[in-house]
Amino acid sequence: MTREAVASERDEAIQRLRDVGLRVTGPRLEILQILAGGEHLDVESLTAAARERLGTLTSQAVYEMLRHFLDTGLVTKFDRPGWPAVFEIADAPHNHALCISCGRVENVESTTPRKPTTGLPGWHVDGSEVVFKGQCPDCRASIEG
Ligand SMILES: [Zn+2]
Ligand SMILES: [Zn+2]
């Protein structure tokens, strides 16, 4: 990556933090820039990636940052049954595919079921999501040898 590209990614992360009224700190910038890469990452992978640049950083600190990012709508969280939740930069709404063998998550463009008009009396429905479960190409290749 060129020096200019890195600088503009940093500016973008600074702007994102300012837009939601969060104080700009080195660790926050680092986490946002890692997520800007477009991956779905859990707390441990985020901590490991950020540590390479920042030196000391606890997963507890990353967890706290993510909580602020979630509260301000900067990131979204995807719960993976059987694996730690993953986080990504909040972008256009989308659904996910989950590999049940390795936990890999990928974005899927597909229609989400609409809010039911009957059948949930008294409920307040916040949203819905579709999760396509199966095996990713890598896991399929290793199973089939
Ligand atoms: Zn897999
Ligand atoms: Zn996603």
CATH of the domain at 51: 1.10.10.10
Query: Are 48 and 7 members of one domain?
Result: yes
Tens of pLDDT, residues 61-79:
999 999 999 999 999 999 9
Query: Are 45 and 71 members of one domain?
Result: yes
Query: Are 55 and 118 members of one domain?
Result: no
Higher pLDDT, 7 or 88: 88
Q: Nearest-CA neighbor of 44 among 61, 27, 32?
A: 61
Kindly tell me if the per-residue pLDDT of 100 is higher than 70.
yes
Kindly tell me if the per-residue pLDDT of 34 is higher than 80.
yes
Any idea which ligand is nearest the CA of 41?
A: 2
Q: What is the pLDDT of residue 93?
A: 85
CA of residue 94 to ligand 1 center, whole Å: 20
Query: Are 39 and 75 members of one domain?
Result: yes
Any idea which ligand is nearest the CA of 101?
A: 1
Give the pair of three-digit tokens for residue 46. Answer: 């985020």
CA of residue 78 to ligand 2 center, whole Å: 7
Q: What is the pLDDT of residue 145?
A: 60
In which domain, by residue range, is 46 found?
3-87
Tens of pLDDT, residues 52-62:
988 889 999 99
Q: How many domains does the chain have?
A: 2
Q: Which residues of 94-108 are buried (b: 16+ CB within 10 A; e: fewer)?
A: ebbbbbeeebbbeee
Give the chain's mean pLDDT: 91
